[in-house]
Amino acid sequence: MATITSAGIGSGLDIESLITKLVAAERAPITQLATRTDTLKTQLSVYGKLQSAFSTLRDSALKLSRPETWQASLASSTDSTSVAVTAGSSTTSGKFAVSVSKLAASQTLSSKVLPSAPATIGNGNITIELGSWNSDQTEFTTKAGSTAVTIEIAPGEDQLTQIRDKINAAKAGVVASVVTDASGSRLVMRSSETGQTNAFRISVGDADGINGDDSGLSALAYDPSVGVSSMALNLAAANAMAVLNGVAVESESNTMKDAIDGLNITLLKPTTADVTLSVDQDKDGIKKAINEFVTNYNAAVTMLRDQTKYDASNKTAGTLQGDSTATSLQNQLRGLAGSGTTLGGSGLGRFSDLGLDPGSDGLIKVNDTKLTKALANLDQVKGFFAGVDTTDASNSGLAVRFRTLTDKLLSTDGSLTSRQAGLQTRINNNGKQADKMEDRVSLTEARLRARYTALDTQMSKLTSLSNYVTQQMALLNKSS
């Protein structure tokens, strides 16, 4: 807020304007410092973007230097509606014949039609036990490691939907649901998991004291081994049966993860003929990783070029024009891109041999036809990018060396990080210097205001004396 002052009244001088101009002159160095600080902040912002670009480049180089990238496989099925397949990184290339005779199944039981709410079924308790049945269901073998679960059904919580919810909440290895059609509602129970050992039996402790009469809670009992089958068996628990390359296999699940190393096979339906599963190296995935690396390399080079160039037509310089760190980064990138390695074997020593052609502008252009041809010799391409020379690090694969370079640049004492820290320190120091200069300007303004106020007061006194003398002289002349 401007200060209201009467400076200048006594002398008639525009003292306030004079002080303002003198203070403005004192503030000129602060304005110049602020301009330099804004330039530093712009440079710091650009270096932040460069750090992001180099970090992205490092990630793509790291991907190409990892063994799992080169071990990735692609699996396919000649009948994916019957047998689906996906491949892991350790899968060996080849073909596998699969035929499916039977899918794994969950035991499923259904009750007779039961009264719906608000009617009740009956109270007591239900005990569910997992295990396996013999072929005629006269014997039940408890599943190893499982424990029977007893569910209490108290009066007031024995409606059909309440019983369903209590069974599901007990997590006894079965899932209950209510199925309603034109005839009424039934309780359906099925094993949570497929397989012969995930069958189950149900024992009921009916509040009426009779546990197998199909009345009250007993309507939910199922234990053929003791002659109780109040619920009907709709589907028996079963293992999946298949033949893999002539070998009969059996699985409790329709997903086979261990039948063939690295392959996840999902059985979807029985087959009438062999389904062929093919596993090949994922060359398309590798090509994509190479193209991503080139894209990220070009992005970093383009950013450096744009920020360091001088536009003669517009007479404007990039933010980092003449910056030694930025120039060094450019040289390091281009130098590494122009280097080679012997780990790619004969005929594959430089980027250009792979179809990655360096241009005069420093950017790499991808010759897709040449790259596809080179990928036919995947081991050589892997050596070119991911090979490690333990005796001469400068001969290691290009992705390994790019990863090493970017790791170094982005480390806590790397040139990118150090340059940003240096710029931030200069910005902070400028801020402190500006504060001190502002204090000096404030003191200068106060001193000037005091001096000119004193001058104004003295001028006022002199003016009053001059007026008095003038009046006295006029009176003297008049009396004469």
Q: What are 411-460's pLDDT values in tens digits?
A: 999 999 999 999 998 899 888 888 888 788 788 777 777 776 777 677 66
pLDDT tens digit sequence for 459-479: 667 777 777 778 877 777 877
Which token pair is 423?
């710029």
- Least confident residue range of 56-60, 320-324, 443-447: 443-447
- C-alpha 368/C-alpha 374 separation (Å) is 10
- Answer whether the bond into residue 118 is a cis peptide, omega within 30°: yes
- C-alpha 221/C-alpha 229 separation (Å) is 6
State residue 423 phi and psi, 5-degree precision.
-65, -40
Any idea of the CA torsion for 155, 156, 158, 164, to the nearest 10 degrees?
A: -130
Q: Which secondary-structure segment (H or E) carries 241?
A: strand 240-244
Q: Are 102 and 215 in contact (CB under 8 A)?
A: no
Q: What is the mean pLDDT of residues 66-90?
A: 88
From residue 420, alpha-carbon distances to 28, 47, 284 in Å are 28, 7, 39
Predicted pLDDT at 18: 76
From residue 325, alpha-carbon distances to 3, 74, 328 in Å are 48, 44, 5
Which position has the higher pLDDT, 26 or 66? Answer: 66
pLDDT tens digit sequence for 330-339: 999 999 999 9
Helix 398-410 vs helix 15-65: crossing angle, to nearest 10:
150
Predicted pLDDT at 197: 96
Q: Using the CB atoms, write b or e for 298-321: b if 16+ within 10 Å.
A: bbbbebbeebbeeeeeeeeebbbe
pLDDT tens digit sequence for 135-144: 999 999 999 9
195 DSSP 8-state letter: S
Q: What percent of the chain has pLDDT over 90?
A: 63
Sheet hosting strand 275-281, strand order edge to edge: 73-77, 275-281, 94-102, 240-244, 247-251
**Residue 282 pLDDT greater than 90, yes or no:** no
Q: Are 341 and 384 in contact (CB under 8 A)?
A: yes
pLDDT tens digit sequence for 193-251: 999 999 999 999 998 888 878 888 999 999 999 999 999 999 999 999 999 999 999 99
**Residue 9 pLDDT greater than 70, yes or no:** no
| Mean pLDDT over each residue of the chain, to the nearest integer | 89
Predicted pLDDT at 153: 94
- C-alpha 471/C-alpha 184 separation (Å) is 125
**Residue 305 pLDDT greater than 90, yes or no:** yes
**Residue 290 pLDDT greater than 70, yes or no:** yes
- C-alpha 73/C-alpha 366 separation (Å) is 24
In the chain, the amino acid numbered 45 is S
Helix 283-308 vs helix 15-65: crossing angle, to nearest 10:
160
Count other C-beta atoms under 10 Å from residue 333's C-beta.
Answer: 21
- Comparing CA positions, the residue from 336, 447, 355 lying closest to residue 398 is 336
